[in-house]
Each structure stands twice: as structure tokens, then as C-alpha cells.
């Protein structure tokens, strides 16, 4: 789909020359850059505070870390500039909060933008508002709360319109209360957007946006075969085992990270800012949220009537447990971890082994462990393993680059221990009727791509899944060592591809996948892409082109948990789903995206 105002800059240094592959004009001289409010911030006589929250409801992975506002008299003089508010750090997720001192006056929103550095790369994206978005006043000594701003790429035929919307009835003071409690102000006298009579229109648009998610933070298969898809803005899509679709939701606009269901049908879901909701079978959703500075990474039923929850709070990681009560959940802390004290309940008392590609010097002194932030967590319920991603306390941007520690745990007590052997795979999961594994690229990896494996039931070994094919000059696939061109034998070329989604195995050896072949021209900057539906009959050692077409070129994500048919998601583009009963030869649309 077409889009605007995004890009990538890479600086390449070679023999003292810096080559700009792409360039965007800097903002330093264009805007008045306004730092985030701190305990040392003091207001001058003609200054107020502007506060806001931005939610990224798209599949774009980087958070919006800047808000630009235009003063009413922007065009009166070249000396009058727009102001850029900087987001509070850290901001690894798609939600950011802002609070900055702003000169008193009348303002309008110009744009929200994401501007990030990572190594030699710069990533940026600008989303502009329109004249109908509204205006607001900043008054001396007062807080102006802009509420929640949401970025949503609205699909429209073969492109999408990049849209910012604002909630019509913001919870004034919520961001200040949670993130800037040190600032003294009158909570009964908070300003917001000026009334323009369009709140009903905004409410209708917001409801349509929420019910038509284009991105999902997680998917989950329940014991009864139902599939759940966690959309943005608190929306939960459900596909029953017999293919019926339903939509549900909880009272939050923040990202949901994890959901679980037991055999009885009880549901629990959790996510950012400690948001946690509990729904007994046949009942209604209950808000069971924790403190706002918690992030809930994982919830699951360790027993039919017992819920386990793994949540982090800055540098600490907690494991909680509660009975699945029909009324309220009562959490008990079973274990906790930080990078200095290790686990509170640790079986062997040793530090876990950190997987690293760096060579250690024999003469190097072992330094004391440093306190680090918990930025990623995964739990393998089958193998009883937990992986904890740690980032330095000084890493505050969109790229925390965590290092991972792997621990085993006792499912009864959650006492952790150092595994006798680290698992061969960084991640393992079921995909159809096979067990797949994934290895992250090492430091010396040339391609920088993940490696994929299939667990062979007969040999009990991990077999590598190939991500390349041999092709003749006319593009046809071949498993032979030569192609015939103009009556002569020539060597076929080897073309690599990347999986759009994991292969769906119909048996231990037969699978269908959707793959992208890319051809990048360094000098022109052009990248040609070719998406194909592939089949393997030997567990991924060789792939064949089925010759089948996708129902829509933007729909290329197979749901590997569904095994009686191919279920295709259009995530990243629309909320549509398609099904195929003949391995992709024909497709039927089973969920539509509302045209609003």
C-alpha cells in the first residue's frame, strides 16, 4: 500500500567519505525543541504545560517520540517557530507520553513524528494533521491536556490514508497523575481542546477504527480450538473452532500483550501500564489492573483453576499466581528477579548462563553485576523455561537491544534454576502438525537473518529448513544441477527468500508457506519484491512453486495454529481474513474490513 512521509537514512563511512543514501532536512533550526518536564522544571510567568499521549495503532514498529504544534501567529514572522515536544523516555512500546513547558498562546497540532537513531541508521516518519483537527489554548501556570492522539492507517483501495484522531472525551490529568506526579497544578482547572461541535463525529470514527484493527500484538489458540487476535485499542477478535467470528473489547486503549483461556471458558488478558482484565465464563469483563508502572508480559492457566502471571516493573520481574475466582482475582507473589540480586527463589544459587558471542579473557576480572531494566520476557510453558531480556538503565530509546538469560522453573513453586543445557533453539513453537525452532543471527552472521528448523519425530533432531531455491533464468524452480537455455546446460542461480509467516505443516514433512523474494539495487535504491505460495514435501529441504495467487497482494500472513485449512491474515494492511480449503488454489473472504 502507498504511504507518505517515511524513510530511512544510512550513513556509510569509507576512506573518510560520508555518503548520504537518503536525506531529510534537520529539525533543529525549524522548531523550538521543548524538553520533557522534570522535577527541576520551573515555569516562567507566561508559560503553561502541554501534556498528551500518543498511541500507534499501526504495524509500524517504532513509537512516535515527537509532537509538533503550531502557534496561531506562525506566519506573521520568520522568527515565530513551531514547537516540538519530546516524549518521556524510555519508550520501547508503541505508546508515548508527553509533557513540556509551552509559551502561552493559541495552538494547533501540526504533526506527530517518529525520529530514531540506531547505529548507522536513522528512521523517521511524519504524520500530519489537517485543519479540522482543532485548536487549544495554553495559559500561564495551567495544564493543557490534549488527551490521547491515535495514529491509524485507514485502508482505501490499494493505498491507505495516514490519519491522526483524538479521543473526544479524554481523561484529563491521567498522564500527569501517573508520569509527572511531582508537578504541582490545579487538577480542577485543566484545559483541553476548544469545543468545535465535532465530538460525536470523532466518537463514531474512533469506534470504527477500534473495530477494524490493522495490526495485532499477539495471537493465541485456546484449548477449545478458538483463535484470539489482540488488536490495538483494547479490541479482541475471536474465531471459534468452527469458523465463526466475533469481536470483543476491554476498557483500555493501551496495547494488550497476552491472553489465556481455560477449558471452562474463563478469560484473562493483560498488557501495558498494568492493564489486566478478567472474564469468568458467561460473565462480563472485570478490571483487575495493577499499578501503571507494571508491564504484563504473560498470563496462562498453569492449572484449570489457577492463573500464573509474569510482569515487570522497570528493573524487577515478578511471578504472580491467583485462583480463577468468579468474583475477583487475588494475586500472590511467588518469585521475583532483578539483575543484581538474581531470583528470590533460585534452586542452585548460581547465575544463569548468558548466551554471548563475545570471547572472554582469562585474565579479565569479573565485575559486579549491574542493575538493568527488564525489557522483554518469554515463557515456554511446555519446556518450563523463561527467557528474560535485560537492557542497560541508560538505554532509553526505541532500540533497547536486550541480552537474554534463560532459566528453568518448577511449575508448582516457580523456583528457578540454571538449566543443565540451554535449549538448541532461541524459540520453539508448534506450526500446524510440526514443531519448529528459530535461531537468531549471531554476531558474525553475514545475512543477519533468522534460521529456521523443524524437529524430526523419527531422528529426534532439529533439521534446518532451507530458505533458498534454485531457479532458471526464466524464473522456474528446479531441483536439478542445471537448466537448459538455448540448447545448452547452464547452472541455475540460487535465490534466497524470507518467510512472510511460518510454514504451516499438514504433516511432519508437508507444508505450505508464503515467501518473499527480494532484489535490491544498491545504486538506485530500488527493491523489487515477488511473493509466492510455496510447498515442501520433505520438511523444508526443497521448495516448489505452487503457482497459486494470493487473494490480495497485501495479505500474506498464514495463521499456523489452524490446521484444517489455510487461514490468511491481512495484518499490517486491513482487518480482512481469507480461507482456503485447497492449499491456496482458491480463497474465500471470511472477515471483511469495514469501509468507513
Q: In this predicted model, what pLDDT tens digit does every residue of 408-437 receive, in sequence order?
A: 999 999 999 999 888 898 889 899 999 999
Q: Cis bond leading into 90, ω under 30°?
A: yes
| 120 or 253, which is more confident | 253
CB 489 within 8 A of CB 483: yes
What is the per-residue pLDDT across 479-517, written as a single tens digit (0 to 9) for each? 888 898 888 889 998 899 999 989 999 999 999 999 999
Q: What mean pLDDT value characterizes the chain?
A: 88
pLDDT score recorded for residue 75: 84
pLDDT at 210 over 60: yes
pTM for this model (two decimals): 0.88
> 17: pLDDT confidence band, cut at 50, 70 and 90?
very low
> 363: pLDDT confidence band, cut at 50, 70 and 90?
low
Q: How far is CA 130 from CA 110, 112, 135, 290, 371, in A?
A: 8, 12, 11, 37, 45
- CA angle 384/270/127 to nearest 5° reads 120
pLDDT at 350 over 90: no
Range 170-198 average pLDDT: 94
Lowest mean pLDDT among 155-159, 219-223, 336-340: 155-159
pLDDT at 393 over 80: yes
| 523 or 214, which is more confident | 214
What fold characterizes domain 215-356+367-422? Methylamine Dehydrogenase; Chain H (2.130.10)
Range 450-462 average pLDDT: 93
pLDDT score recorded for residue 360: 47
> Which stretches does DSSP call E strand in 324-414?
332-338, 342-343, 372-380, 385-392, 403-409
What fold characterizes domain 6-211? Immunoglobulin-like (2.60.40)
Whole-angstrom distance, CA of residue 355 vs CA of residue 439: 12
pLDDT score recorded for residue 4: 39
What is the per-residue pLDDT across 395-405, written as a single tens digit (0 to 9) for each? 777 888 889 99
Whole-angstrom distance, CA of residue 386 vs CA of residue 395: 23
In the chain, % of residues over pLDDT 90 = 69
> 364: pLDDT confidence band, cut at 50, 70 and 90?
low
CB 417 within 8 A of CB 346: yes
What is the per-residue pLDDT across 516-572, written as a single tens digit (0 to 9) for each? 998 776 677 777 889 999 999 999 999 999 999 999 888 999 999 998 999 999 988
> 305: pLDDT confidence band, cut at 50, 70 and 90?
very high
pLDDT score recorded for residue 529: 87
What is the per-residue pLDDT across 309-322, written as a single tens digit (0 to 9) for each? 999 999 999 999 99
Lowest mean pLDDT among 149-163, 231-245, 361-375: 361-375
Cα dihedral 406, 408, 411, 416, rounded to 10, equals -90
> 447: pLDDT confidence band, cut at 50, 70 and 90?
low
Whole-angstrom distance, CA of residue 418 vs CA of residue 242: 42
pLDDT score recorded for residue 7: 39
Range 4-11 average pLDDT: 37
pLDDT at 18 over 70: no
Residue 273 φ/ψ, nearest 5 degrees: 50, 35
Helices (H) and strands (E) in the chain, counts: 2, 47
Residue 394 φ/ψ, nearest 5 degrees: -85, -10
**Closest C-alpha to 53, from 135, 132, 170:** 170
Residue 178 φ/ψ, nearest 5 degrees: -80, -45
Q: Which three cell numbers stand for residue 425?
A: 533453539
pLDDT score recorded for residue 114: 93
Q: How far is CA 397 from CA 7, 254, 393, in A?
A: 18, 19, 11
Range 206-232 average pLDDT: 94
For the chain, the C-alpha Rg in angstroms (whole number) is 26
* Domain spans in the chain, listed from the N-terminal domain onward: 6-211, 215-356+367-422
> 27: pLDDT confidence band, cut at 50, 70 and 90?
very low
What is the per-residue pLDDT across 84-107, written as a single tens digit (0 to 9) for each? 999 999 887 789 999 999 999 999
Q: Which three cell numbers stand for residue 506?
A: 499438514
Amino acid at each position: 500500500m502507498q504511504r507518505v512521509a517515511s524513510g530511512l537514512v544510512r550513513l556509510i563511512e569509507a576512506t573518510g567519505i560520508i555518503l548520504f543514501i537518503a536525506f531529510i532536512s534537520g529539525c533543529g533550526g525549524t522548531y523550538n525543541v521543548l524538553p520533557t518536564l522534570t522535577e527541576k522544571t520551573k515555569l516562567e510567568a507566561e508559560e503553561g504545560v502541554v501534556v498528551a499521549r500518543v498511541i500507534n495503532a499501526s504495524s509500524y514498529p517504532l513509537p512516535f517520540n515527537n509532537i509538533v504544534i503550531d502557534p496561531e501567529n506562525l506566519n506573521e514572522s520568520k522568527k515565530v517557530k513551531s514547537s516540538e515536544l519530546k516524549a518521556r523516555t524510555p519508550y520501547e512500546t508503541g505508546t508515548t507520553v508527553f509533557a513540556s513547558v509551552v509559551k502561552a498562546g493559541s495552538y494547533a497540532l501540526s504533526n506527530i513524528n517518529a525520529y530514531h537513531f540506531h547505529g548507522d541508521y536513522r528512521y523517521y516518519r511524519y504524520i500530519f494533521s489537517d485543519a479540522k483537527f482543532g485548536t487549544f489554548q495554553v495559559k500561564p501556570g495551567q495544564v493543557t491536556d490534549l488527551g490521547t492522539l491515535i495514529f491509524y492507517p485507514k485502508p482505501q483501495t490499494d493505498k491507505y490514508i495516514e490519519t491522526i484522531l483524538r479521543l473526544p472525551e479524554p481523561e484529563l490529568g491521567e498522564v500527569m497523575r501517573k508520569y509527572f506526579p511531582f508537578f504541582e497544578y490545579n487538577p480542577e482547572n485543566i484545559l483541553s481542546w476548544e469545543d468545535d461541535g465535532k465530538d460525536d463525529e470523532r466518537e463514531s470514527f474512533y469506534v470504527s477504527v477500534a473495530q477494524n484493527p490493522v495490526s495485532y500484538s499477539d495471537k493465541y489458540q485456546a484449548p477449545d480450538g478458538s483463535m484470539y487476535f489482540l488488536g490495538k485499542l483494547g479490541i479482541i477478535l475471536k474465531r471459534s473452532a468452527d469458523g465463526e467470528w466475533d469481536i470483543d473489547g476491554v476498557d483500555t486503549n493501551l496495547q494488550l500483550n497476552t491472553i489465556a483461556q481455560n477449558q471452562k471458558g474463563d478469560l484473562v488478558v493483560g498488557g501495558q501500564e498494568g492493564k489486566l482484565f478478567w472474564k469468568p465464563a458467561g460473565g462480563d469483563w472485570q478490571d483487575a489492573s495493577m499499578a501503571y508502572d507494571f508491564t504484563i508480559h504473560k498470563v496462562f492457566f498453569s492449572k484449570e483453576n489457577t492463573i500464573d502471571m509474569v510482569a515487570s516493573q522497570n528493573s524487577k520481574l515478578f511471578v504472580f499466581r491467583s485462583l480463577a475466582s468468579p468474583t475477583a482475582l487475588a494475586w500472590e507473589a511467588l518469585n521475583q528477579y532483578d539483575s543484581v540480586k538474581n531470583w528470590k527463589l533460585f534452586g542452585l544459587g548460581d547465575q544463569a548462563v548468558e548466551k554471548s558471542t563475545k570471547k572472554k579473557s582469562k585474565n579479565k576480572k569479573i565485575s559486579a553485576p549491574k542493575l538493568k531494566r527488564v525489557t522483554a520476557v518469554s515463557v515456554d510453558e511446555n519446556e518450563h523455561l523463561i527467557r528474560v531480556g535485560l537492557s542497560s538503565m541508560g538505554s532509553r530509546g526505541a532500540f533497547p537491544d536486550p541480552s537474554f538469560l534463560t532459566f528453568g522453573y518448577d511449575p508448582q513453586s516457580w523456583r528457578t534454576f540454571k538449566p543443565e543445557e540451554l535449549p538448541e533453539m532461541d524459540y520453539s513453537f508448534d506450526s500446524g502438525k510440526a514443531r519448529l525452532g528459530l535461531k537468531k543471527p549471531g554476531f558474525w552472521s553475514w545475512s543477519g537473518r533468522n534460521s529456521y528448523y523443524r524437529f524430526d519425530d523419527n531422528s529426534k533432531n532439529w533439521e534446518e529448513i532451507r530458505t533458498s531455491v534454485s531457479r532458471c533464468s526464466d524464473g522456474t524452480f528446479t531441483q536439478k544441477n542445471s537448466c537448459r537455455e538455448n540448447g545448452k546446460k547452464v547452472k541455475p542461480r540460487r535465490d534466497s527468500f524470507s518467510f512472510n509467516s511460518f510454514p504451516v505443516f499438514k504433516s511432519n514433512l508437508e507444508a505450505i508457506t508464503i515467501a518473499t523474494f527480494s532484489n535490491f539495487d544498491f545504486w538506485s535504491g530500488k527493491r523489487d519484491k515477488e511473493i509466492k505460495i510455496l510447498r515442501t514435501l520433505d520438511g523444508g529441504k526443497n521448495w516448489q512453486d505452487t503457482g497459486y495467487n494470493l487473494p490480495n497482494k497485501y495479505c500474506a500472513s498464514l495463521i499456523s495454529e489452524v490446521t484444517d485449512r489455510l487461514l490468511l491474515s491481512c495484518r499490517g494492511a486491513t482487518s480482512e481474513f481469507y480461507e482456503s480449503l485447497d492449499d491456496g488454489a482458491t480463497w474465500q473472504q471470511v472477515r471483511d474490513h469495514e469501509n468507513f
